[in-house]
């Protein structure tokens, strides 16, 4: 009887445990929750301050170029200079000297037949085909306006028989003009560490070239056209300063990664003429620097401000038509 009572008691106890969810061994320890990570607070970035340019020394002009020079084109006197004798790469400003040698040889209506070796250059090429023929005069316009490197090769070969011999003539002619710190390896200015000049030398070469009437005409020409077979091809002058600065009449742009931006400029005002050379500048700099230099030249030469553009003629007022009486 006692055994039966004990059994009944155990059954009742188990039932109670099942009803309360507290069966032996079924109780689990609560899993501690992981503390949530605090959200990252975004810190506002402070704007990078614009570096303050170094103050200019007395008489110094605010130029981006690493080298520059300004000449009185008529006398050759130096009006301003900045590191004018440091070695620089001229890029396509090289073509000023290339054109000068071709002009000095003359016979500009002589035909030049394009050869295969003339076409093996890039960029700035006209994509000539071997066997095409053009006059030296036409090629000079393409050389100085379009800055075509294949044209430079064709003119060099036509002039001296090979690029190597032409480059030797370039260096010799530069020395004769007083540009003795220069050495040339090709007629187009594509980078070669042995192909270099200075701002002073480049100004001397440009000043002499601008004394040649046809050179002067070419570099002041905004647009030139010539025939390629049955097709008319237009060349626009790369020198944007022609339309940006009143009185600008040339000369030549240039760019490679090594040289950065190069610009040789010439401008006239009130019977004064100035030549500026900008070397190793940036894209806005070649235009801004050149304008700064040329304005400085005209101020020193007493040329005054540029002439005001002519006033537009007044449009006459149209008289009112009287209303007819009825």
User: Is there a domain that residue 40 lies in?
Assistant: no
Model pLDDT, residue 313: 61
95 is a catalytic site residue: yes
Q: CA nearest 97: which of 207, 2, 200? A: 207
Q: What is the pLDDT of residue 320?
A: 56
Give the integer Cα–Cα distance in Å for 72 and 95. 22
More confident residue, 229 or 250: 250
Do 268 and 50 contact (CB within 8 A), yes or no? no
* Tokens representing residue 23 in the block: 């069966």
Residue 66 above 70 pLDDT? yes
Query: What's the pLDDT at 118?
Result: 92
Residue 27 main-chain phi, psi, to 5 deg: -75, 120
Which of the residue ranges 38-47, 144-153, 176-185, 256-265 would you say has the lowest mean pLDDT? 38-47
**Domains in the chain, number:** 1
- 97-138: pLDDT as tens digits: 999 999 999 999 999 999 999 998 887 788 888 999 999 999
Say whether the peptide bond before residue 251 is cis (omega within 30 degrees of 0).
yes
Which of 77-81, 293-297, 316-320 comes out lowest in average pLDDT? 316-320
Percent of the chain with pLDDT over 90: 66
pLDDT-derived band at 233, boundaries 50, 70, 90: confident
Q: What is the pLDDT of residue 283?
A: 86
pLDDT of residue 244: 93
The CATH number for 84's domain is: 3.40.710.10
Question: Against a cut of 0.85, is the pTM above it?
Answer: no
C-alpha–C-alpha distance, residues 135 and 112, integer Å: 6
CA angle 304, 261, 119 (to 5 degrees): 125
145-161 pLDDT per residue, tens: 999 999 999 999 999 99
The residues near 188 (Cβ < 8 Å, ≥ 6 apart) are: 92, 94, 95, 98, 121, 124, 149, 152, 153
Structural domain includes residue 96: yes
Torsions phi, psi for 148 (to 5 deg): -75, 125
Contact criterion met (CB below 8 Å) for 291 and 241: yes
Q: Which of 66, 69, 72, 62 is nearest to 292 (CA)?
A: 62
Q: How confident is the model at residue 316 (pLDDT cuts 50, 70, 90)?
A: low
Quick count: other Cβ atoms within 10 Å of Cβ 99? 25
Q: Are strands 248-256 and 260-269 parallel, antiparallel or unpaired?
A: antiparallel
Q: Give yes or no for a cis peptide into 292 (omega within 30° of 0).
A: no
Residue 215 tokens, joined = 């050179």
147 is catalytic: yes
CA distance 189 to 272: 30
232 among known catalytic residues? no
Gap between the Cα atoms of 262 and 254, Å rounded: 5
Quote the domain boundaries for residue 161. Answer: 67-301
pLDDT at residue number 322? 60
Among 48-62, 123-137, 269-283, 306-320, name the one with the lowest average pLDDT: 306-320
Report percent pLDDT > 70 for the chain: 77
Integer-rounded Cα radius of gyration of the chain: 39
76 vs 314, higher pLDDT: 76
Active-site residue identified among 82, 95, 146, 252: 95
Assess whether pLDDT exceeds 80 at residue 189: yes
pLDDT surpassing 70 at residue 231? yes
**How would you class 304 by CB atoms within 10 Å of its CB: exposed for 0-12, middle for 13-18, buried for 19 or more?**
exposed
> Does 45 score more than 80 pLDDT?
no
Within a domain: 310: no
Question: Mean pLDDT, the chain, as a whole number?
Answer: 85
**Residue whose C-alpha is closest to residue 98's, from 236, 242, 254:** 254
Task: Identify the active-site residue in 124, 147, 259, 281.
Answer: 147
Can you give the pLDDT at residue 6?
Answer: 47
Which one is catalytic: 67, 82, 92, 276?
92
Q: 268-294 burial, b for 16+ CB within 10 Å, e for fewer? A: bbeebbbbbbbbbbeeebbbbbbbbbb
139 band by pLDDT with thresholds 50, 70 and 90: very high
Low-confidence winner among 9-18, 55-64, 121-130, 184-193 (lowest mean pLDDT): 9-18
Q: Smallest Cα–Cα separation from 145: which of 66, 222, 41?
A: 222
Instruction: Give φ, ψ of 315 to 5 degrees.
Output: -85, 120
Residue given tokens 């023929």 in the structure block: 133
């Amino acid at each position: 009887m006692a055994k039966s009572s004990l059994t009944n008691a155990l059954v009742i106890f188990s039932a109670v445990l099942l009803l309360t969810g507290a069966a032996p061994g079924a109780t689990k320890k609560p899993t501690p929750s992981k503390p949530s990570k605090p959200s990252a607070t975004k810190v506002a970035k402070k704007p990078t301050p614009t570096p303050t340019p170094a103050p200019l020394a007395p008489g110094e002009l605010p130029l981006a170029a690493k080298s520059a020079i300004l000449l009185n084109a008529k006398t050759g006197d130096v009006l301003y200079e900045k590191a004018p004798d440091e070695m620089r790469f001229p890029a396509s400003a090289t073509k000023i000297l290339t054109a000068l040698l071709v002009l000095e040889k003359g016979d500009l209506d002589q035909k030049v037949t394009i050869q295969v070796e003339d076409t093996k250059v890039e960029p700035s090429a006209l994509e000539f085909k071997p066997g095409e023929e053009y006059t030296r005069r036409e090629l000079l316009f393409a050389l100085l306006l379009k800055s075509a490197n294949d044209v430079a090769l064709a003119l060099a070969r036509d002039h001296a028989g090979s690029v190597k011999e032409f480059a030797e003539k370039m260096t010799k002619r530069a020395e004769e003009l007083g540009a003795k710190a220069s050495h040339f390896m090709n007629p187009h200015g594509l980078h070669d560490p042995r192909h270099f000049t200075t701002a002073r030398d480049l100004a001397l070469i440009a000043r002499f070239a601008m004394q040649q009437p046809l050179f002067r005409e070419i570099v002041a020409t905004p647009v030139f056209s010539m025939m390629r077979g049955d097709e008319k091809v237009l060349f626009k002058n790369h020198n944007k300063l022609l339309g940006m600065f009143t009185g600008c009449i040339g000369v030549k742009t240039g760019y490679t990664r090594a040289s950065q931006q190069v610009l040789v400029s010439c401008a006239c005002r009130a019977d004064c003429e100035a030549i500026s050379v900008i070397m190793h500048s940036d894209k806005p700099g070649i235009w801004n620097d050149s304008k700064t230099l040329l304005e400085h030249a005209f101020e020193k030469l007493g040329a005054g401000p540029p002439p005001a553009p002519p006033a537009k003629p007044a449009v006459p007022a149209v008289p009112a038509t009287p209303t007819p009486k009825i």
